[in-house]
Structure 1
């Protein structure tokens, strides 16, 4: 009732106003703000994880390419080694078939030279194979990290989806699920940081 410049509340007016404010705070303000803040933080972390996943995938490809290059260089060295072996074999046959001692000495010098060159080539080829294996190992490690980053990003995306559903349905258990999936995503991201 109101009149002459002042307002008098009826008994039900006060209860209705209190219930309306309490319901707005329960359903909207607290939950909405909490989910909105959580979603913003998780989306930011997810963007970082996504970048890291892309970077590790690119590194894995680069390292695998380096491994292939080193493997090709090693193969070239083994082919060179084989050509020296063939020349050495021909020099040995020539030495054994020639009747002149001076020619035998000349062929023996070539055989000795080819043997020395083969040993040098072999060392280079083995070093290149070792490098190739190391690049392959680094590529595999980067792919493992890429998978960790992808798993972490996926968990964070599921968490954001649960946040949207929690906002629409106002179900508290979905909000708990959102927090749990966010924690799982951050934990997997931590495993990627620690190279686990």
Structure 2
């Protein structure tokens, strides 16, 4: 459009005006255009929610994997502590066996008994930390599975939106049906993700 009231139409302007006029009267391709536009808006909104959920589950998976690594490190530290107590116990046993005096033997035996008791406590803690690490790993794996479902659902919805654009441009009814089909598949996968299937 230029000044002085002179207006120039581009080829697409005439097509849009024509589609709008027919849509207002519920005629022909206008109904298809409105239907595709509404479908695209709804699917894009659902897709945005699915993408958010996919990102959230991926972040959770990373957090849980990090927790697993922290617990695994703590367990490793406990096993190292266990090993140091075992070494001290072995040295006390050698000292007990080599000393000729009964009083020294009793002193070393008391240390051996103490180390044995401490090792049992350390071993219990190490095994508990390993179990916690394994639990965090399983939770991380479960979150990654759900993340993949959200990603699959989002991808299917993006394909549905692309089919909607092609259907709009070509006005092919079979593409419109394909658009609805892919949208339904995407929503179904999203429901599976929400149900952790």
Instruction: Give the TM bin, normalised by the shorter chain.
Output: 0.7 to 0.9
Q: Which runs of 5+ in 1 are unaligned?
A: 1-19
Cα distance, 1:170 vs structure 2: 0.4
CA RMSD of superposed structures (Å): 1.5
Tell me, yes or no, if structure 1 residue 151 matches structure 2 residue 152.
yes
TM-score (norm 1): 0.88
Length, aligned pairs only:
176
Correspondence 1:175-194 to 2 at 5 A = 175-194=176-195
Match of 1:113 in 2: 114
Tell me, yes or no, if structure 1 residue 25 matches structure 2 residue 27.
yes
Match of 1:160 in 2: 161
TM-score (norm 2): 0.87
Correspondence 1:1-196 to 2 at 5 A = 25-27=27-29, 29-196=30-197
Q: Deviations over 1:136-183 (max 9, x none)?
A: 000000000000000000000000000000000000000000000000
- For the residue of structure 2 that corresponds to 1:36, the secondary structure is helix
Q: Distance in 2 between matches of 1:57 and 1:24?
A: 45
Runs of 4+ off more than 4 Å: 20-24
Match of 2:12 in 1: none
Cα distance, 1:187 vs structure 2: 0.2
Cα distance, 1:183–1:115 mapped onto 2, change above 3 Å = same
Q: Distance in 1 between matches of 2:182 and 2:149?
A: 15
Q: Which runs of 5+ in 2 are unaligned?
A: 1-20
